[in-house]
Chain A
Amino acid sequence: MNLDFSDDQKQLQDQIRRFLSEKCTPAVVRSGLEGGEPFARDLYRGLAEMGVLGVAIPEAYGGVGLSHLELCLAAEELGRALAPVPVASSIYLAAEFLLQAGSEAQKKAWLPRLASGEAVGTFAFVEGQGRMTPDKVAAAVRDGRLSGAKSPVADGDIADLAIVAARSGAGRGEQAISLFLVELNGPGVTRETLASIDPTRSQARLAFEGAPAERLGGEGEGWAIASQVMDRAAILMAFEQVGGADRALSMARDYALDRMAFGRQIGSFQAIKHMLADMYVSATLARSNGYYGAWALASGSSELPVAAATARVSATQAFQHCAKNNIQVHGGMGFTWAFDCHLFYRRSNALALALGSLSTWEDMLITRLQGANTQAA
């Protein structure tokens, strides 16, 4: 039994944490909030130079060639630091799509650029309100040209490459959907930055009018590939959420030790102490479920879909729980612009929706447990 990361992996995590605590200062995180760009390019370059972006990308494609376990720990640190960088879009999603479904030429063309941070990728999937289903995909590709619109697309305004889910071919339902690589700096693409609950990360609307599109993976296989890649990304994002939850909890703990009221530290009041204990419980359950996900991701287990949904649901709840109660522990100061509490609150609620909402993942978890149950029987 070894449900833990290795000493080497933990050492790498420490390095990343030290780097981020030095470079990812509150001013850097707040840039997007204060009207600047919600993308810390220097920080992103630094992460690329450390090998963080390419840590799980094979050396043949310009990566470091370690495993997804290292990427999980990097994700935890990015979440802890609220790093305003497009790692989720470009690495957990775009690079993962290329690794899982790309042709050799596509991998060679894009993975080195994503690993070096020279290019940023994203996944353009959602079209409007509600849970995404194949029927909601209106974007379509004909004769290698994409038309339609995607919104919101995380990092859509800064990305160079999008993997776009669009209709093509004669299939129905899920089989009507294929994936396409679209260069966002090319012709036929209009982008518009959207206001969002978390301006430390950008969201955009992408409109396509005959944009050149190159298929990624087989025709009609887009939905299945996307589902597989989003599971993998969900585990990585769960680690970001676990890192964020951990930091929100420690902020609240520190404040409860520091703040005096009624002649005593507020952390000595059971109302506060028990709130913090419950935050610790959520964060611990989420971390343990995350480890299960990390194991499934790194080992290629058939349990990966169950593990991904489990890690995702648990981590979403933990980060939301810790971030909202962090504000509560801080009292009125927690609701000021100057304190960082709202940054965690914003990020926790934005991440809760990225890759699909909590209720969507709850539903998927039960579907998958039913499947596992049928297989066992």
Chain B
Amino acid sequence: MDFDDTPEEAAFRAEARAWIQANAPTHLEAELKRAGFASSGIESEDPMAASKAWQKKKAEAGWACLNWPKEYGGGARSPIERVIWGQEEGVYGSLSSPFIIGHGMCGPTVMAWASEDHKRRLLPPLASGEEIWCQLFSEPAGGSDLAGLRTSAVKADDGSGDWIINGQKIWTSGAQHSQWGLLITRTNPDAPKHKGLTMFFLSMSTPGVEVRPIKQANGQSGFNEVYFTDVRIPDDQRLGAVGQGWEVSLTTLMNERLSIGSGMSTGFPELFEFCLEAEVDGRPAVDDSAVRSRLAQFAVKQSGLKYTGMRAITALSKGETPGPENSIGKLVAGATMQELAMFALDLQGQAGVVQDESSPMNARFQQILMRSPATRIEGGSDEILRNIIGERVLGLPGDIRVDKDVPFRDIPTSGRK
């Protein structure tokens, strides 16, 4: 047991570190370090331009999408090298946030299902950050129950083979910045719901696509609604067979849970620092026995996630696939950061209600409080994640489905019982 690199890993780390030191946008380092929770932190220049510039530089030197094949714009590196790169990239890694959906979810799906021509056209600009992708999956009627989606794709009656799309997507991250979207639709409402779905990709500038930002509960707008009105997509932009959309979507969702869950912080280091400085009854908060007990609870969760991650990295380092223990990451981190934020505000007393520049730690805990409800829902809600652990890890039976073999059009919905 050790936390050391193998000689090969150490050599790769040194190479990555040297390149980052020579090429990273060091003028942004201070801003990135100061960044608040759920905000880019870059104010001195256009944050998207900064992200694209760093991504392009990485791609030109072969450091973008490290685990992708070279012909698709990647670095053809091993999974463990990708992890080491992430450790070395450090604070500059947050510049990649506009590309996470594309690199983590859309790219792997395109790689698995698109034609060779499309892969060579679409993947390199995705890797280099020139083109941004979004994932058009969730709908007002299909979130956790994704297969309940209603956006329709119907063959055009002009013999062109094109598909005509009508409907609405929601919770689409980054749609306003995206050139491309990965779109799942219903092509057969007479089939049981998982069997009537088909996946496409489309240009977001296709006529009839309209993006409207959602104003979130915390006042920010990271998500969008996307409306489709008679949007025409050529048949060669279909991924997988007609009716195979559910299977295609699983490629995306597997990658979603892996990329969202890895390396999540719970906010514990910040809370600990705060408790060293804050006072309770005229003494440092950390001296209070109730505070110490809560802190210890948060500490062991943070630590448990950290070392669970290291066990996964160990598996990668040995060339093995990480075990199912990785599935706990987002479930633990989301709930912990929410509890932790409430606790930090409690320690601030009545002043905890204030969220401005006078709030401790740049109002970080207020920001976490207001953002964490989304963490517990996005990319698989806590309840869906517990189902996944229960069914795929522990081998428990699935829930009894009343909608299983029913034609989609006959399934009751909120408006039609």
Most chain A C-beta atoms within 10 Å of own C-beta, residue among B4, B386, B391, B399: B386
Is A129 located at the chain interface by the 8 A CB criterion? no
Measured CA separation A292–B308 after assembly (Å): 10
Is B158 located at the chain interface by the 8 A CB criterion? no
Is B307 located at the chain interface by the 8 A CB criterion? yes
User: Which residues 172-203 of B sit at the A interface, judged by CB distance below 8 A?
Assistant: none
A residues less than 8 Å from B300 (CB atoms):
285, 289, 310, 313-314, 317, 365
Is A369 located at the chain interface by the 8 A CB criterion? yes
Distance (whole angstroms) from the CB of A134 to the closest CB of chain B: 19
A residues less than 8 Å from B398 (CB atoms):
268
A residues less than 8 Å from B304 (CB atoms):
284-286, 288-289, 314
Is B217 located at the chain interface by the 8 A CB criterion? no
In the complex, the answer to whether B308 meets A288 with C-beta atoms within 8 Å is yes
In the complex, the answer to whether B313 meets A366 with C-beta atoms within 8 Å is no
Contact with A along B386-416 (1 / 0, CB 8 A): 1101110111111110000000000000000
B residues less than 8 Å from A257 (CB atoms):
395-397
Is B368 located at the chain interface by the 8 A CB criterion? no
User: Which residues 329-355 of B sit at the A interface, judged by CB distance below 8 A?
Assistant: 331-332
In the complex, the answer to whether B390 meets A267 with C-beta atoms within 8 Å is yes
The stretch among B97-105, B118-126, B285-293 that forms the contact with chain A is: B285-293
In the complex, the answer to whether A369 meets B272 with C-beta atoms within 8 Å is yes
In the complex, the answer to whether A276 meets B394 with C-beta atoms within 8 Å is yes
Measured CA separation A294–B307 after assembly (Å): 12
With A3-B310, A284-B304, A285-B328 already in contact, the answer to whether A363 and B292 are too (CB < 8 A) is: yes
In the complex, the answer to whether A264 meets B301 with C-beta atoms within 8 Å is no
Is B61 located at the chain interface by the 8 A CB criterion? no
Distance (whole angstroms) from the CB of A83 to the closest CB of chain B: 25
Most chain B C-beta atoms within 10 Å of own C-beta, residue among A2, A310, A359: A2
Is A103 located at the chain interface by the 8 A CB criterion? no
Contact with B along A255-294 (1 / 0, CB 8 A): 0110000001101111011101110110011111101101
B residues less than 8 Å from A265 (CB atoms):
396-397
In the complex, the answer to whether A3 meets B311 with C-beta atoms within 8 Å is yes
Measured CA separation A317–B293 after assembly (Å): 13
Measured CA separation A101–B385 after assembly (Å): 49
Measured CA separation A5–B1 after assembly (Å): 7
In the complex, the answer to whether B394 meets A281 with C-beta atoms within 8 Å is no
A residues less than 8 Å from B383 (CB atoms):
270, 274
Size class of the B contact interface (CB-based, 8 Å): 35 or more
Measured CA separation A361–B295 after assembly (Å): 12
A residues less than 8 Å from B4 (CB atoms):
1-2
Contact with B along A1-25 (1 / 0, CB 8 A): 1111100000000000000000000
With A274-B390, A288-B311 already in contact, the answer to whether A2 and B276 are too (CB < 8 A) is: no
In the complex, the answer to whether B1 meets A281 with C-beta atoms within 8 Å is no
In the complex, the answer to whether B386 meets A362 with C-beta atoms within 8 Å is no
Measured CA separation A310–B332 after assembly (Å): 17
In the complex, the answer to whether B390 meets A4 with C-beta atoms within 8 Å is no
Most chain A C-beta atoms within 10 Å of own C-beta, residue among B3, B303, B399: B303
Distance (whole angstroms) from the CB of A295 to the closest CB of chain B: 5
Is B314 located at the chain interface by the 8 A CB criterion? yes
In the complex, the answer to whether A268 meets B399 with C-beta atoms within 8 Å is yes
Closest to B394 in A: A253
A residues less than 8 Å from B305 (CB atoms):
285, 288
In the complex, the answer to whether A295 meets B389 with C-beta atoms within 8 Å is no
Is A196 located at the chain interface by the 8 A CB criterion? no
With beta carbons under 8 angstroms apart, the residue of B295, B317, B325, B386 that contacts A284 is B325
A residues less than 8 Å from B399 (CB atoms):
268-270
* List of 7 A-B pairs having minimum Cβ-Cβ separation, nearest first: A285-B304, A362-B296, A273-B390, A288-B307, A277-B386, A267-B396, A277-B389
A-B contact pairs, 27 of them (CB 8 A): A1-B4, A1-B9, A1-B310, A2-B1, A2-B314, A2-B318, A3-B310, A69-B1, A253-B395, A256-B396, A257-B395, A270-B383, A270-B386, A276-B396, A277-B393, A280-B394, A284-B304, A285-B300, A285-B332, A286-B304, A288-B303, A313-B299, A313-B300, A363-B289, A365-B300, A370-B276, A373-B276
Interface residues of A (CB under 8 A from B): 1-5, 69, 253, 256-257, 264-265, 267-270, 272-274, 276-278, 280-281, 284-289, 291-292, 294-295, 298-299, 309-310, 313-314, 317, 359, 361-363, 365-366, 369-370, 373
Interface residues of B (CB under 8 A from A): 1-5, 9, 80, 272, 276, 286, 289, 292-293, 295-297, 299-301, 303-308, 310-311, 313-315, 317-318, 325, 328, 331-332, 383, 385-387, 389-391, 393-400
